[in-house]
Structure 1
């Protein structure tokens, strides 16, 4: 049964509201860290990696 639960977690999708919250959290991170627009891609990678560190999937922001 664990396999089914694990598969279900990987197939979960974020709602439009969760995506918007994630986008706003990224924007806030950009402002707080004074990230230049040219560095947004690199910052986004780090931002998502940190969000995934908790338990292997994006956590609600």
Structure 2
């Protein structure tokens, strides 16, 4: 029973600890967000270049 009491105490204090670590929390999350955003931009660019770009028009050689 004492284990549950101690566990509940630490779970209740987790929010206070995380609020105090705001700066460190962003240091850990920011690189991951940049990787995800970069991946999304690459995917959008790839889709745009493959499916939404204008197709080059073929120019036929004049008949001789």
Instruction: Report the TM-score when normalising by structure 2.
Output: 0.33
- The higher-RCO structure (CA 8 Å, 6+ apart) is 1
When Rg is computed on C-alpha atoms for both structures, the one with the higher figure is 2
Instruction: Report the TM-score when normalising by structure 1.
Output: 0.34
- Report which of the two has the higher share of helix: 2
